[in-house]
Structure 1
């Protein structure tokens, strides 16, 4: 499966998924600080499941 980890997602989760042969894009490694709507657009454009622990994730 393909995932996009938001920048607030613990690195250990990203690492574990990668060890299990999942493709994981990680905002921290790509574009730290981008707004939530851009994170969601990125996940959609990549066909990835968005993983976040952001309790106030906002979509505009």
Structure 2
């Protein structure tokens, strides 16, 4: 394999990993928000979780 494609592959993997981590932290943020406001309105939160899964 040429070094060019190797670099591209590594770059793409790095970007994908970055994206995955962003997704995870976003989801955790939303879950925390949901947990805080759970007693406030559980109906909306259930729909929220459904959308996330």
Verify same fold: TM over 0.5: no
Report the TM-score, using the length of structure 1 for normalisation: 0.26
Higher relative contact order (CA 8 A, sep 6+): 1
Report the TM-score, using the length of structure 2 for normalisation: 0.28
Greater C-alpha radius of gyration: 2
Greater share of residues in strand: 1
